[in-house]
Amino acid sequence: MKAFAVVAYKGPLQELEVPEPIVDDHDVLVQVRVAGINGIDQQVLAGAFKLFLPYRLPQVLGNELAGTVLRVGAAVRGFKPGDEVYGRPRVSRIGTFAERFAIAEEDLALKPSSISMEEAGGLPLVALTAWQALVDRGNVQPGQRVLIHGGAGGLGSIAIQIAKHLGATVATTASASNHDFVRGLGADHVIDHRTEDFAELLTGYDLVLDIVGGENLKKSLTVLKPGGLAIGLVGPPDLAFARQLGLNPVLQVLMAALSADIRRRAKKRGVRYEFLFMHASGKQLRSITALVDSGALRPVVGKVYSFATAPDALRESAKGGIRGKAVISIP
């Protein structure tokens, strides 16, 4: 079958003929209709994770999908052939830029009936990330204040909606051309990141969701009230992340050292910093499905690429400027 794979780190994405997926007892074989494009795809291609996620090259790329069930493993009880599904596979077995993909049953959910395949294909990774940041880690409550950076992007557009659903007052950063768009998603306060400094305009926030890192993350600490939480999605990684992956003691020490500066800064201000590397969860996706079908959550797809143009799609999406998600449609 056709697939697009990483043949060499930092090289181009290449089209290959690869073997059909092996379907174990707890797996579901999916005819992939749509695969979402995410920042993690760029990171895998660049070799950013090779220290702790040593994929065996060539590695088919792709971290989320929507499609139709072709067959199920002998122990699968929750799905049957013909079901329309969506999911984010666990990081140890990615590869959704392919015509077919075998995914663990517990990483999969039925597709929301109220949205298209294109909308579903770009939803699992960003929705799970936002859910795990705002619900699992942040425990956001009604009346709290949340700052979400990059509100017009794939993650930001979903995180704003989930935060509003939880009852939070939401601030976000976005370019001037996207201000009306993010307000339409529910943002209460919008800061133009090109002309305004969010750190001078905001104070007393309970949680910040940072997708930029570096100086932006350091400045984000200053808008938090005492006891507030900054969640970083691009790093630096911390000790809890190293333990989550089961890394050896040497790598655990390394991860702790990478985040030492930001953790010191947070402690000095009386706030907290945590790194989030989201995990697959069909159970959480079912909660997200309920939000979508109730009308509380609306996926945003900014651009749909054809399967044949997957390498171009990856390059173009890395430049930014797309509202919501970019996805690849697979005939």
Mean pLDDT for the chain overall: 95
d(CA 317, CA 304): 11
Where residue 255 falls among pLDDT bands split at 50, 70, 90?
Answer: confident
Kindly report the backbone phi and psi dihedral angles of residue 4, in degrees, each rounded to the nearest multiple of 5, phi listed first: -115, 125
Residue 51 domain flag = yes
pLDDT on residue 79: 98
pLDDT single digits (tens) 34-90: 999 999 999 999 998 887 788 999 999 999 999 999 999 999 999 999 999 999 999
- Number of domains within the chain: 2
Is residue 245's pLDDT more than 80?
no
Report DSSP state, residue 153. Answer: B
In terms of Cα–Cα distance, which of 59, 52, 51, 54 is closest to 11? 59
pLDDT on residue 165: 98
For residues 136 and 53, membership in a common domain is answered with no
For residues 26 and 65, membership in a common domain is answered with yes
| CATH classification of the domain holding 324 | 3.90.180.10
For residues 84 and 21, membership in a common domain is answered with yes
CA distances from 17 to 2, 59, 100, 207, 280 (A): 5, 12, 12, 45, 27
For residues 31 and 166, membership in a common domain is answered with no
d(CA 110, CA 134): 23
Residue 167 domain flag = yes
The burial class, CB within 10 Å (0-12 / 13-18 / 19+), for 80 is exposed
For residues 130 and 224, membership in a common domain is answered with yes
- Structural domain of 110: 2-122+299-329
Least confident of 105-114, 149-158, 248-257, 314-323: 248-257
| Residue, of 212 and 205, whose pLDDT is higher | 205
d(CA 93, CA 301): 25
pLDDT on residue 259: 87
Q: Tell me the range of 47-51, 239-243, 280-284 where mean pLDDT is highest.
A: 280-284
Q: Say what percent of the chain tops pLDDT 90.
A: 87
| CATH classification of the domain holding 182 | 3.40.50.720
pLDDT single digits (tens) 87-116: 999 999 999 999 999 999 999 999 999 999
Is residue 198's pLDDT more than 80?
yes
pLDDT on residue 54: 82
For residues 115 and 74, membership in a common domain is answered with yes
